[in-house]
Amino acid sequence: MAHNLTVEYSMLLALATKAQKNAHAPYSNFHVGAAILDENAQHHGGCNVENAAYPLGQCAEAGAISAMIASGGKQIKQILIASPNNDFCPPCGGCRQKIAEFANAQTEVHLATQDGQIKTVKFETLLPLAFGFDKISED
Ligand code: THU
Protein backbone atom coordinates (compact mmCIF):
# COMPACT_ATOMS: atom_id res chain seq x y z
CA MET A 1 0.00 0.00 0.00
CA ALA A 2 3.05 2.25 -0.02
CA HIS A 3 2.13 3.18 -3.57
CA ASN A 4 -1.33 4.40 -2.57
CA LEU A 5 0.09 6.38 0.31
CA THR A 6 2.52 8.05 -2.03
CA VAL A 7 -0.23 8.94 -4.50
CA GLU A 8 -2.41 10.26 -1.69
CA TYR A 9 0.35 12.36 -0.27
CA SER A 10 1.19 13.75 -3.69
CA MET A 11 -2.38 14.87 -4.27
CA LEU A 12 -2.55 16.55 -0.89
CA LEU A 13 0.77 18.28 -1.47
CA ALA A 14 -0.30 19.51 -4.90
CA LEU A 15 -3.59 20.87 -3.58
CA ALA A 16 -2.01 22.53 -0.54
CA THR A 17 0.69 24.10 -2.69
CA LYS A 18 -1.89 25.43 -5.12
CA ALA A 19 -3.91 27.00 -2.30
CA GLN A 20 -0.73 28.33 -0.69
CA LYS A 21 -0.03 30.40 -3.79
CA ASN A 22 -3.33 32.20 -3.21
CA ALA A 23 -2.74 32.92 0.48
CA HIS A 24 -3.68 36.43 1.57
CA ALA A 25 -0.87 37.16 4.00
CA PRO A 26 0.29 40.75 3.42
CA TYR A 27 0.95 41.34 7.13
CA SER A 28 3.05 38.30 8.05
CA ASN A 29 4.16 37.44 4.51
CA PHE A 30 3.97 33.83 5.78
CA HIS A 31 2.03 31.92 3.15
CA VAL A 32 0.60 28.59 4.33
CA GLY A 33 -1.36 25.95 2.44
CA ALA A 34 -3.37 23.04 3.80
CA ALA A 35 -5.20 20.10 2.26
CA ILE A 36 -7.51 17.49 3.72
CA LEU A 37 -8.49 13.98 2.58
CA ASP A 38 -11.94 13.19 3.92
CA GLU A 39 -13.87 9.96 4.49
CA ASN A 40 -15.40 10.19 1.02
CA ALA A 41 -11.93 10.32 -0.59
CA GLN A 42 -12.55 13.96 -1.46
CA HIS A 43 -9.76 16.54 -1.19
CA HIS A 44 -10.17 20.06 0.17
CA GLY A 45 -7.66 22.88 0.13
CA GLY A 46 -7.21 26.06 2.12
CA CYS A 47 -4.80 28.93 2.68
CA ASN A 48 -4.37 31.53 5.36
CA VAL A 49 -6.47 34.67 4.96
CA GLU A 50 -5.22 37.60 7.01
CA ASN A 51 -7.04 40.82 7.80
CA ALA A 52 -6.02 44.39 8.56
CA ALA A 53 -7.80 43.78 11.87
CA TYR A 54 -5.12 41.24 12.78
CA PRO A 55 -7.06 38.91 15.13
CA LEU A 56 -9.60 38.21 12.39
CA GLY A 57 -7.05 36.39 10.26
CA GLN A 58 -7.70 32.72 9.56
CA CYS A 59 -5.21 29.88 9.27
CA ALA A 60 -4.91 27.63 6.23
CA GLU A 61 -6.14 24.62 8.20
CA ALA A 62 -9.37 26.41 9.11
CA GLY A 63 -9.98 27.21 5.46
CA ALA A 64 -9.51 23.58 4.45
CA ILE A 65 -11.87 22.45 7.22
CA SER A 66 -14.53 24.93 6.03
CA ALA A 67 -14.18 23.64 2.47
CA MET A 68 -14.57 20.04 3.70
CA ILE A 69 -17.70 20.84 5.69
CA ALA A 70 -19.24 22.83 2.86
CA SER A 71 -18.70 19.82 0.55
CA GLY A 72 -20.36 17.39 2.94
CA GLY A 73 -17.24 15.80 4.42
CA LYS A 74 -17.28 15.02 8.12
CA GLN A 75 -14.02 13.24 8.94
CA ILE A 76 -10.43 14.28 8.41
CA LYS A 77 -8.54 11.13 7.39
CA GLN A 78 -5.34 12.97 6.50
CA ILE A 79 -4.30 16.61 6.57
CA LEU A 80 -1.19 18.17 5.05
CA ILE A 81 0.26 21.54 5.95
CA ALA A 82 2.63 23.16 3.46
CA SER A 83 5.21 25.44 5.04
CA PRO A 84 6.42 28.57 3.22
CA ASN A 85 10.05 27.77 4.07
CA ASN A 86 12.33 24.84 4.90
CA ASP A 87 11.09 24.43 8.48
CA PHE A 88 8.00 22.41 9.25
CA CYS A 89 4.87 24.43 9.99
CA PRO A 90 2.96 22.47 12.63
CA PRO A 91 -0.62 23.61 13.23
CA CYS A 92 -1.11 26.28 15.89
CA GLY A 93 -2.88 25.39 19.13
CA GLY A 94 -6.20 26.80 17.97
CA CYS A 95 -6.06 24.79 14.76
CA ARG A 96 -5.24 21.61 16.67
CA GLN A 97 -8.54 22.07 18.47
CA LYS A 98 -10.35 22.80 15.19
CA ILE A 99 -8.84 19.69 13.62
CA ALA A 100 -9.81 17.63 16.70
CA GLU A 101 -13.48 18.30 16.02
CA PHE A 102 -13.26 16.20 12.82
CA ALA A 103 -10.26 13.95 13.42
CA ASN A 104 -9.35 11.03 15.65
CA ALA A 105 -6.18 9.83 17.33
CA GLN A 106 -5.06 7.99 14.19
CA THR A 107 -5.59 10.83 11.73
CA GLU A 108 -2.39 11.39 9.78
CA VAL A 109 -0.89 14.86 9.84
CA HIS A 110 1.71 15.48 7.12
CA LEU A 111 4.07 18.43 7.47
CA ALA A 112 5.79 19.48 4.24
CA THR A 113 8.56 21.98 3.59
CA GLN A 114 9.59 23.86 0.48
CA ASP A 115 12.72 21.75 0.07
CA GLY A 116 10.78 18.50 -0.01
CA GLN A 117 11.02 17.27 3.57
CA ILE A 118 8.01 15.51 4.97
CA LYS A 119 7.17 14.46 8.49
CA THR A 120 4.04 12.44 9.22
CA VAL A 121 2.65 12.18 12.74
CA LYS A 122 -0.55 10.80 14.23
CA PHE A 123 -2.90 13.49 15.45
CA GLU A 124 -2.81 12.15 19.01
CA THR A 125 0.82 13.26 19.28
CA LEU A 126 -0.18 16.85 18.50
CA LEU A 127 -3.10 17.10 20.91
CA PRO A 128 -2.99 14.59 23.75
CA LEU A 129 -5.84 14.74 26.28
CA ALA A 130 -7.97 16.54 23.72
CA PHE A 131 -11.20 18.19 24.77
CA GLY A 132 -14.06 17.09 22.54
CA PHE A 133 -17.70 16.14 22.21
CA ASP A 134 -17.23 13.06 24.40
CA LYS A 135 -16.35 15.35 27.32
CA ILE A 136 -19.63 17.29 27.17
CA SER A 137 -22.04 14.48 26.31
CA GLU A 138 -23.95 12.57 28.99
CA ASP A 139 -22.15 9.30 29.92
N1 THU B 1 -0.67 30.06 9.95
C2 THU B 1 -1.38 29.10 9.31
O3 THU B 1 -2.13 29.39 8.38
N4 THU B 1 -1.24 27.82 9.72
C5 THU B 1 -0.38 27.39 10.68
O6 THU B 1 -0.30 26.20 10.95
C7 THU B 1 0.44 28.36 11.40
C8 THU B 1 0.20 29.80 11.08
C9 THU B 1 -0.79 31.45 9.48
C10 THU B 1 -1.48 32.41 10.40
C11 THU B 1 -0.90 33.73 9.92
O12 THU B 1 -1.66 34.17 8.80
C13 THU B 1 0.49 33.39 9.47
O14 THU B 1 0.50 31.98 9.26
C15 THU B 1 1.57 33.76 10.48
O16 THU B 1 1.30 33.26 11.74
Domain CATH code at residue 21: 3.40.140.10
CA distances from 47 to 5, 35, 101, 121, 136 (A): 23, 9, 19, 21, 31
pLDDT score recorded for residue 112: 98
Of 27-41, 46-60, 124-138, the range with the lowest mean pLDDT is 124-138
pLDDT score recorded for residue 87: 98
C-beta of 28 in contact with ligand 1 (< 6 A) = yes
Catalytic residue, from 61, 101, 108, 138: name it: 61
C-beta of 83 in contact with ligand 1 (< 6 A) = no
Q: Are 54 and 28 in contact (CB under 8 A)?
A: no
Quote the number of domains for the chain. Answer: 1
The alpha carbon of 66 and the centre of ligand 1 are apart by a number of angstroms equal to: 16
In-domain check, residue 14: yes
In-domain check, residue 110: yes
pLDDT score recorded for residue 39: 98
pLDDT score recorded for residue 23: 99
Nearest CA to 34 out of 97, 125, 87, 99 is that of 99
Phi, psi of 3 (to 5 degrees): -60, -50
Q: Containing domain of residue 100, as a range?
A: 7-128
Please say if 61 is a catalytic residue: yes
In-domain check, residue 81: yes
In-domain check, residue 82: yes
pLDDT tens digit sequence for 63-112? 999 999 999 999 999 999 999 999 999 999 999 999 999 999 999 999 99
In-domain check, residue 137: no
In-domain check, residue 1: no
In-domain check, residue 75: yes
C-beta of 62 in contact with ligand 1 (< 6 A) = no
C-beta of 8 in contact with ligand 1 (< 6 A) = no
pLDDT tens digit sequence for 2-45? 456 567 789 999 999 999 999 999 999 999 999 999 999 999 99
Whether the full predicted model's pTM is greater than 0.85, yes or no, is yes
Residue 1 has pLDDT above 60, yes or no: no
